[in-house]
Amino acid sequence: MIKAAFVTLHASWPWERQLPGGQPAFDGAEFFVPVDEADIVFVYDALPEGRLVLKRPVPAVFVASEPENVKRYSPAFLAQFDAVITSDRDTAHPNRIFVQAGLPWHAGSMTAGGKLLDTPMTFEEFEAHEPRKTRLVSVVSSDKAFTAEHRARLAFVAKLKEALGDQVDVFGRGIADFADKRDVLDDYRYHIALENCAIEDYWTEKLADPYLTLTFPIYHGCPNIKDYFPEEALQPINIYEPDEAVEIIRKVIGSDLAEQRREHLLEARRRVMHEHNVFGLLAKTARDLLAADAGAAQRRARTLHPESHFLPLTAKLKLWLQHRIGQMPMLRKSLRFLKYKAHFVKVKAQHYWKYLTDEFYRSHQRWIRHNPQDDVRFQYDLPSGANILDVGGYAGDFAACFVELCNANVTVFEPVSKFAAQIEERFAGDPRVRVHEAGLSDKDEVAEFDLDADASGAFGSSGGQRVQVTLWDAERFLSQCGTDEWHLAKLNIEGGEYALLNRLIDTGRIASIKHIQVQFHLHVPGARDQYRQLAKRLRQTHKLQWRYPFVWESWVRREDAGRSHGRP
């Protein structure tokens, strides 16, 4: 049996619960032996402070548990080791082993007070664990926001909650706290598992914990995850394609995939507990290295130093100062308060400057303050069966709201194919919603749009994908569609509103629209001049009800102004 020392800064973690019977033996290796008796030494994540003396000439392996977007390990520090387990392809070491790091399981380990359980859930208990699934789907939204990936995850969860509402249970600090991961997994058929990054060979307990609880994961993260688990044991998504990801989630949670794939979930759990268990990983690594230990003859007894030993002098002084301040609670508290106050003053100053100099920001802040629930956009006195034009349908949310509010008949224009297809699927079989894969404009033409989610349009500047779309002459369509009066027209077409409204005014068709809700855009050349001229023309037939410049505004036909509901 191979004797392996397991050295880590995180010695208080209950690692032994991942071993059968809590015994130190796993797959031909005995762990936690003293360093002086070991055949191989594993250092996980970081060395404890101080030196680690290897009195015997045995191989030492470093396990890099952090992904490259969080931390890059010092080359001088890594050079002490015979091999490095890592997912970072740019790791500066001659013997890199690209594989997941065997991050510890979290499910079944924590108390309500955020402390480790005295008796955490064991290896055998997980093997027999078959929780009863009574709820649909959960997701955990960490409040971490110090990387771009963290911020993308937060934005996606917000969009997901907006799209699916009460269908998805969102957990996280400040949202819905939980004690242990089992609280958000055991009862659920599905779990949306979102890694903080998407890096080959890097995945975490965010995926392992759902498998341990037999919860079907809808997963964003490791691109080559199918090298580790059966393809049928998860549903991949990409949060950087949020609309597509939301629709995939909608389909999956509306199915019985979790029940159909149970055998694959059981196999995935077996792999988590045996093959990808940190001790299974290290046992295999030990066998492979010792069997092919070409450097054994040259190896000598040596001393391993923590990463701080290799820092430049200025960094060492900074660490020393942080350590000394940490030993003086009152000073630490005062410095923390001063840092907070300085940050607060900076943020407020930036806000006030932007409020004074940026018209859109000023308008948007007023919109949020006056209309936090976005409800003013739906406060119209419309008859049952009202005729509504939704120009720029995107996901179909505006149409869905008025179908529910007043049984409206909604004609949706959405020129981007994938968005139009999503709306058609959403309202399939509902005759009240008619979807046209086209935009409305001042003439029939084929235009090129910048594809940028709900900001897609001819005046886009995201640098993203360009797509060709069809635009229809508004007068031609409206004169042939058979509807004499439109109770409401919503226009959100990323700069195309100027040409469209001028066309409606030129032809007199504007008089057939009772309410006009429009978002004007500043990124169009000469936007302010165009708006002033257009508003002057529009006032001939309509009256402004309320306006948040270049955010949203609403106009009502003059003959209906006295009878119409509106909020300034």
pLDDT tens per residue across span 336-375: 788 777 887 888 888 788 878 888 888 888 888 888 777 8
1 vs 568, which has greater pLDDT?
A: 1
Half-sphere exposure of 503 (CA within 13 A, CB side): 18
d(CA 206, CA 213): 12
What pLDDT does 48 receive?
84
pLDDT band at 457 (very low <50, low <70, confident <90, very high): very low
Domain identity same for 292 and 424: no
User: Three-state SS for 339?
Assistant: helix
What is the pLDDT averaged over residues 118-123? 95
d(CA 3, CA 34): 9
What pLDDT does 77 receive?
94
Decide if 567 is inside a domain: no
d(CA 108, CA 186): 10
Instruction: Supply φ then ψ for residue 363, to 5 degrees.
Output: -65, -40
pLDDT tens per residue across span 16-64: 999 999 999 999 999 999 999 999 999 999 998 788 999 999 999 999 9
Q: What are the helix and strand counts (H, E) for the chain? A: 16, 24
Domain identity same for 318 and 178: no
Decide if 416 is inside a domain: yes
Q: Which amino acid is at 344?
A: F
Does 225 have pLDDT greater than 80? yes
pLDDT band at 259 (very low <50, low <70, confident <90, very high): very high
User: Three-state SS for 405?
Assistant: helix
pLDDT tens per residue across span 416-448: 988 999 999 999 999 999 999 999 999 999 988
515: domain CATH number is 3.40.50.150
For 91-160, strand residue ranges (E) read 96-98, 135-140
pLDDT band at 382 (very low <50, low <70, confident <90, very high): very high
Give the DSSP letter of residue 457.
B
What pLDDT does 456 receive?
46
461 vs 209, which has greater pLDDT?
A: 209
Decide if 360 is inside a domain: no
Q: Which domain holds residue 245?
A: 110-272
What pLDDT does 104 receive?
97
Q: What percent of the chain has pLDDT over 70?
A: 94
Domain identity same for 468 and 421: yes
What pLDDT does 568 receive?
46
d(CA 136, CA 134): 7
What pLDDT does 300 receive?
86
Across the chain, which distance is largest between two alpha carbons, in Å?
97
CA nearest to 202, candidates 88, 358, 71: 88
383 vs 373, which has greater pLDDT?
A: 383
Domain identity same for 405 and 300: no
Decide if 482 is inside a domain: yes
Q: Which amino acid is at 425?
A: E
Q: For the chain, how many structural domains are there in total?
A: 4
Domain identity same for 83 and 157: no
Does 5 have pLDDT greater than 80? yes
d(CA 291, CA 289): 5
- End-to-end CA distance of the chain, in Å? 79
Q: Which residues pair with 9 in a beta bridge?
A: none
Q: Which amino acid is at 93?
A: H
Decide if 363 is inside a domain: no
Domain identity same for 381 and 234: no
What pLDDT does 146 receive?
63
Decide if 566 is inside a domain: no
Instruction: Supply φ then ψ for residue 39, to 5 degrees.
Output: -85, -20
The torsion of the CA quartet 32, 37, 42, 48, rounded to 10 degrees, works out to: 80
What pLDDT does 452 receive?
57
What pLDDT does 228 receive?
98
CA nearest to 477, candidates 442, 505, 511: 442
Asked which of 65-74, 394-403, 559-568 is least confident by mean pLDDT, the reply is 559-568
Domain identity same for 530 and 410: yes
Decide if 213 is inside a domain: yes
Other beta carbons less than 10 A from residue 78's beta carbon? 21
Decide if 362 is inside a domain: no
Q: Is 306 exposed, middle or buried (0-12, 13-18, 19+ CB in 10 A)?
A: middle
pLDDT tens per residue across span 130-165: 999 999 999 998 766 666 777 888 889 989 999 999
Other beta carbons less than 10 A from residue 351's beta carbon? 12
Does 563 have pLDDT greater than 70? no
Domain identity same for 382 and 476: yes
Does 464 have pLDDT greater than 80? no
Q: Which residues pair with 446 in a beta bridge?
A: 470
User: Can you tell me which residue has the tokens 């007068």?
Assistant: 475
Q: What percent of the chain has pLDDT over 90?
A: 70
Q: Which residues pair with 31 in a beta bridge?
A: 4
d(CA 235, CA 257): 10
Does 107 have pLDDT greater than 70? yes
Domain identity same for 414 and 481: yes
Domain identity same for 323 and 424: no
Domain identity same for 419 and 533: yes
d(CA 376, CA 384): 19
What pLDDT does 143 receive?
66
Q: End of a domain among 327, 354, 381?
A: 354
- 0.85 surpassed by pTM: no
CA nearest to 43, candidates 60, 57, 27: 60
Does 178 have pLDDT greater than 60? yes
Domain identity same for 124 and 73: no
Instruction: Supply φ then ψ for residue 196, to 5 degrees.
Output: -80, -5
